[in-house]
Amino acid sequence: MKRLERAGLALLHLTDPETAHGLSIRALQAGLAPAPGPVTSPRLATTLAGLELPNPVGLAAGYDKNATAIAPLSRAGFGFIEVGAATPRPQPGNPKPRLFRLTQDRAAINRFGFNNQGADAIATRLAQRQRGPVQGYVPVGLNLGANKDSPDRAADFAAVLATCGPHADFATVNVSSPNTEKLRDLQGRAALTALLRGVMDTRARLATPIPIFLKIAPDLTDDDLKDIAAAAFETGIAGIIATNTTLARDGLSSPHRSEAGGLSGAPLFDKSTRILARLSALTQGTLPLIGVGGIETAEQAYAKIRAGASAVQFYTAMVYHGLSLAADIATGLDRLLARDGFSSIDEATGTARADWL
């Protein structure tokens, strides 16, 4: 299977990145992908903000934007998956080309701009999936976005939650995408607190309230992080996802390194892990954190956990290593926990935080 996967990746890399992305989704829908089911063990099984995860290795938002491949992704080895981002109304996103491979750097730059089919279509697909508790079930969350031309972007997040929340296991407020003008301005304390209150008010009206996470940018100062932590505690959200893509371009060598948009992949690992560790220190380990950014190996996933993460997510690494990476990372993480004498993810979380401060 690995040989076939490598051949498939090679073929995909002969096409432009956005076309390859679409073809990979179609391959999943056709059953042409690894399907080992959720990887789990007594060490890997964990609880995140009330969500029962078979393992702490998740798929980050942005891959399955329109929730069209939930079933095959749920069988790929992940412990949880996140789809979207969804906006209240469908929107085409930014002009193409808007996705670039940085092969020499094992990275990507995107400026998609929340292209998606809208909350109603995505809610319909979420509602059609089989939900737990059943054997092999993994939680599915939705990344919440705002329409580019919205007169009230803060209200958009609550609107998407109202539409899709009854069919999701968790939701993420995404105010950290660099590809919608002025969206990151909502990370300021006053604006963020007001936005999160609106989302949490909507959550309270759901028949079954779900955990709400906040996804933050890596390009933040220490004061910014203090404000975000304060807003998180004040509004009672379930946790923070650290981090989204970066605007920095340090140390890149690929031809597309100067393209506008958010940089993801290997170059983001150190930067995002430092933000994660600092946030863990600021919150004294009392707020669940999901570590994202640059993960390609089980060792890197383990480093995020030891820096303060209760779970991790990745996406860009699949461009270079394939979907089987999900099971590989989960299996490798189990070995690393056993090697170091940890009986659970919780025991390992934050044990090397000081190394990143």
* pLDDT at residue 57 in the model: 98
When pLDDT is averaged across residues 158-168 and rounded to a whole number, the result is 98
Per-residue model confidence (pLDDT) at position 1: 64
> How much is the pLDDT for 187?
78
pTM: 0.97
Cα torsion at 20, 26, 30, 33 (round to 10°)? 40
Please check if 94 is assigned to a binding site: no
Q: What is the mean pLDDT of residues 173-199?
A: 85
Average the pLDDT over 114-135 and give the result: 91
Question: Residue 300: is its pLDDT beyond 90?
Answer: yes
CA dist 221 to 102, 129, 218, 265, Å?
27, 40, 9, 21
Has 100 been labeled as part of a binding site?
no
Question: Catalytic: which of 24, 74, 176, 177?
Answer: 177
Residue 235 has a pLDDT of 98
Average pLDDT, the chain: 95
Residue 188 is assigned to a ligand binding site: no
pLDDT for 3: 85
At 338-349, the pLDDT tens digits run: 999 999 999 999
What mean pLDDT comes out for the span 185-189?
A: 79
**112 annotated to a ligand binding site:** yes
pLDDT of residue 120: 98
37 marked as binding residue: no
Q: Binding residue per annotation — 50?
A: no
Of residues 298 and 174, which shows the higher confidence score? 298
Model confidence at 175, pLDDT cuts 50, 70, 90, reads confident
Tell me, what's the pLDDT at 162? Answer: 98
Q: What does the pLDDT average to over 175-190?
A: 78
Residues 230-247 pLDDT 10s: 999 999 999 999 999 999
d(C-alpha 154, C-alpha 272), whole Å = 25
Domains in the chain, ordered, with CATH? 2-356 (3.20.20.70)
Model confidence at 207: pLDDT above 90: yes
**Is 302 known to sit in a ligand binding site?**
no
- Give 189's pLDDT tier (boundaries 50, 70, 90): confident
Instruction: List helix spans (H) across the chain.
Output: 2-12, 17-29, 70-74, 119-128, 153-164, 189-204, 222-235, 269-282, 298-307, 317-321, 325-339, 345-348
pLDDT at 136: 80
64 annotated as ligand-binding: yes
pLDDT digits (tens, 9 = 90+) for 38-94: 999 999 999 999 999 999 999 999 999 999 999 999 999 999 999 999 999 999 999
Known binder of ligand: residue 271?
A: no
Examine the residue annotation and report whether 310 is marked as an active-site residue of this protein: no
For residues 176 and 187, the answer to whether their CB atoms sit within 8 Å is: yes
How far is residue 286's CA from residue 165's CA, in Å, rounded to a whole number?
Answer: 25
244 annotated ligand-binding residue: yes
The answer for residues whose C-beta is within 8 angstroms of residue 48's C-beta and 6 or more apart is 56, 80, 211, 239, 288, 290, 310, 311
Element (H, E) at 212: strand 212-216
Give the pLDDT band (50/70/90) at residue 125.
very high
Counting residues of the chain whose pLDDT is more than 90, the rounded percentage is: 89
pLDDT score for 70: 97
